[in-house]
Amino acid sequence: MKREKQFGIRQQVENPVLVEKFLKELCQKPPRSIEDLEKRKRAFSAREKLPTILNRDLIAVMDSRDNPRIVPTQLKTLLQKRAVRTISGVSPIGILTKPYPCPGKCVYCPTEDRMPKSYLSSQPAAARAVRNNFHPFKQVSNRIIALEDSGHPVSKLEVIVMGGTWSFLPHNYQSWYIKKIFDAANEQFSENKEQRTSRKLEIENGKSHSLYKAQKINETAHRRVIGLTLETRPDFITERELVRMRRYGCTRIEIGVQTLDDEVQRLTKRGHLSSHVTRAMKLMKDFGFKVCFHLMPGLPGSTPEKDLKWMREVFENPDFRPDFVKIYPCVVLETAELKSWWQEGRYQPLRDKELVKLLLQFKMFVPPWTRIMRLMRDIPVENILDGAKFSNLRQILKNQPKKLREIVGEDFLMGSPKSPAKAENDFVGRGEMSEINGIRQNERHNKAHFDDWPCKCIRCREIGFMDMENAGENPHSRLTEPVLKRRDYEASDGLETFLSFETADEKTLFALLRLRKPSGQKFSQFGLVLHNAALVREVHSYGTEITVGDAAGVGQHRGLGRKLLVEAERIARDEWGLKRMTIIAGIGTREYYRKFGYELKSTYMTKKL
């Protein structure tokens, strides 16, 4: 009989004795690949005359608190479902706020009933939110259970709060919402019902009756919120708003920039201009926040040529230069005002071929300190009336050269007047020209293909993707000696230093640190820790997530973060003459920084140099 899936509820193991027997066999002789694992599952199930054993059942027995066992690392990796979810070293958990009125009137946003503005109930994160009535505790706890049941170590939570303009929500709702996130992370999710009930009562009866106490518990909890992201608009960024976000524990802000073309912003009723983005960036970076831009090529009033021009400016203009970008190509949706423009022939979106050509050129000039988090929004194809519909665009660009050629044509890739090869002088930053010219010349001389298209963004170089490509092997066999790299660039009237550990050829990234020498602007609050201080805006070690306290893997728990911090302190003290280091640490990372002499002041971890 088919088992019915229940969302957010830990599934019961069927035939636990036989599952335990099969797990012992796997531990004695671990499978070499996913194919080998599936073959052995089918053979065992046929021999024992039972339905095919599910990975989640093996994981449940493997992680049983009553009968814990040591399982080979390569077997754990093979049992994981969607290993890519924690491949960057953290467990990302996306949740939505409940529907509230939106301050914007953007013509391209869907306006579905009982959904936050710009979201569709068919999107995965939105569907989960609806199932949980948009309650933050339920959304977080259900996601934790789902990840654990899929074999992921869930101890480093990166929570992304979506749902439109966070800054427009009532402040009492904001505080309640954030506290419930921490309560969910602090919950033990014990298999023992009595223990689980006791823990819930402990939280409800006052141990975390305030946001501050819930955060304090989370500093040493088993599941720590190491990062909290909030979405808002650039015209809502003020000093007061950033202070409030810091008290919530926010470490990254995602802002809907959409385009830097002010005429397009006016036409689409966005409600802000590029000057708002410039002002917001300076404030956010001098507060130490990481910043992600949402970018939307293909808007009404634009062209691929205009899009490429302003997308290049995102990185070349010091007023901008975000740490992360998400690309959301404009598409026509049923409940958006843009639908009527499209029906009247006043608007035509970018189609697949046009978008792929644009993004190929865009990836040429993305700097190595920026991470492309998303190339397409996760809108189901059936909801798109017109526009690009690829769901696997990143894979096509990076790993499917044959498919890529079918889409854009050989001439575009290898030297036609409209190709990236011919357009490189227009679209690539001067500092990268010599290397890319060398690659292009070598390709032409050898009649090479487009397989080695250069993209230096962080995501394309993370060590974790090497882990995934070599699933089934012992990761320690591929440990490589990292090399310290340093890149300096100006941004928002300050100086940014991007420190990283990479392979010597710079193709693989192990860890990074973002250090900022601020612009010098003064703030009415947090002055003690922000004024005349160097700011560490991010420390991140990549590689498949490893539970806090466990042994080192390919990227995490190798001491790379500590070494980067020591170098950052040296630069701030000896080169910049600053006497204080201030870190915008997530709540769950505070204990980590205390080991190096940092103390908590005004929501930041800080230390005199």
Out of 4-13, 178-187, 539-548, least confident range: 4-13
Question: What is residue 435's predicted lDDT score, i.e. its pLDDT?
Answer: 36
Longest dimension (CA), the chain: 73
Q: What is the pLDDT of residue 367?
A: 96
Q: What is the mean pLDDT of residues 121-130?
A: 89
- List all residues 6 or more positions away from 446 whose beta carbon is below 8 Å from its beta carbon: none
Q: What is the pLDDT of residues 402-429, one digit of tens each?
A: 777 777 776 676 654 344 444 433 333 3
210-245 tens-digit pLDDT: 999 999 999 999 999 999 999 999 999 999 999 999
pLDDT score for 6? 45
Helices (H), 219-331: 239-248, 262-267, 274-286, 304-316
Write the CB contacts of 481 (distance below 8 Å, at least 6 apart in sequence): none
- Coil, strand, or helix at residue 252? strand
C-alpha span between 276 and 444 (Å, rounded): 44
151 touches 13 (CB < 8 A): no
- C-alpha distances (whole Å) from 77 to each of 323, 508, 548 are 30, 21, 17
CA-based nearest residue to 342, from 104, 107, 106, 105:
107
- The length of the chain, given as a count of residues: 609
Confidence at residue 94, expressed as pLDDT on a 0 to 100 scale: 93
pLDDT at 350 over 90: yes
Name the token pair of 341: 């423009």
**pTM given for the model:** 0.81
d(CA 99, CA 94): 16
Q: What are the tokens at 496?
A: 């940014």
> What whole-number distance in Å separates Cα of residue 340 and Cα of residue 342?
5
Cα–Cα distances in angstroms (integers) from residue 209 to residues 145, 201, 254, 531, in the given order = 24, 11, 29, 33
Cβ atoms 455, 435 nearer than 8 A: no
Residue 337 has pLDDT above 90, yes or no: yes
Indicate the DSSP class of residue 113. T
pLDDT at position 283 is: 98
Residue 583 clears pLDDT 50, i.e. is over it: yes
Closest CA to 242 of 279, 269, 212: 279
Per-residue pLDDT, 356: 87
Give the least confident one: 302-316, 374-388, 504-518, 552-566: 552-566
pLDDT band at 87 (very low <50, low <70, confident <90, very high): low
42-46, 119-123, 259-263: lowest mean pLDDT where? 42-46
Residue 445's pLDDT is: 33
Output the six-digit token pair for 242.
């950033």
The amino acid present at 97, given as its one-letter code, is T
Asked if 136 contacts 181 with a C-beta cutoff of 8 angstroms, the reply is: yes
Please name the amino acid found at residue 123.
Q
Residue 594 confidence (pLDDT): 97
pLDDT(208) > 80:
no
Three-state DSSP class for 240?
Answer: helix
First vs last Cα of the chain: how many Å apart? 65
- The predicted pLDDT at position 390 comes to 76
DSSP labels, 363-382: HHT--TT-EEEESS----GG
pLDDT range class, residue 263, cuts 50, 70, 90: very high
- Interacting residues of 444 by C-beta distance below 8 A, sequence separation 6+: 414, 415, 421
Q: Give me the mean pLDDT over the 238-263 stretch.
A: 98
Residues of the chain with CATH 3.40.630.30: 462-608
- Range with the lowest mean pLDDT among 145-154, 434-443, 565-574? 434-443
pLDDT given for residue 296 in this prediction: 97
Does an H or E element contain 560, and which? helix 560-570
pLDDT for 361: 87
DSSP secondary structure letter of residue 448: -
List C-alpha distances in Å: 550 to 71, 79, 229, 481, 556: 14, 19, 26, 20, 10
d(CA 577, CA 476): 40
**Residue 3, pLDDT above cutoff 50:** no
Q: What is the mean pLDDT of residues 144-160?
A: 84
Question: How far is Cα 55 from Cα 37, in angstroms, rounded to an integer?
Answer: 10
Contact 311, 362 (CB under 8 A): yes
The superfamily CATH assigns to domain 462-608 is Gcn5-related N-acetyltransferase (GNAT) (3.40.630.30)
Q: Boundaries of CATH 3.30.750.200 in the chain?
A: 252-444+452-460
Q: Are 253 and 281 in contact (CB under 8 A)?
A: no
Confidence band of 546 (pLDDT split at 50, 70, 90): low
DSSP letter, residue 206: I
Q: How far apart are CA 511 and CA 538, in angstroms?
A: 10
Q: Which CATH architecture best describes the domain 252-444+452-460? A: 2-Layer Sandwich (3.30)
Q: How confident is the model at residue 196 (pLDDT cuts 50, 70, 90)?
A: low
395-427 burial by CB neighbour count: b if 16+ within 10 A, else e? ebbbeebeebbebbeeebbbeeeebbbebbeeb
Question: Residue 63 has what pLDDT?
Answer: 65
Q: What pLDDT is attached to residue 557?
A: 47
**For residue 360, what pLDDT is reported?**
85
What is the per-residue pLDDT for 448? 34
**Rounded distance between C-alpha atoms, residue 77 and residue 81, angstroms:** 9
CA distances from 442 to 114, 271, 398, 429, 436 (A): 56, 47, 19, 20, 10
CB-based contacts of 384, cutoff 8 Å, min separation 6? 331, 332, 333
Write down the H helix ranges in 110-228: 124-131, 136-149, 171-186, 193-202, 211-218
Per-residue pLDDT band for 91 (boundaries 50, 70, 90) equals confident
Mean pLDDT of the chain: 82
313 or 60: which leads in pLDDT: 313
In angstroms, the CA 302 to CA 259 distance is: 10
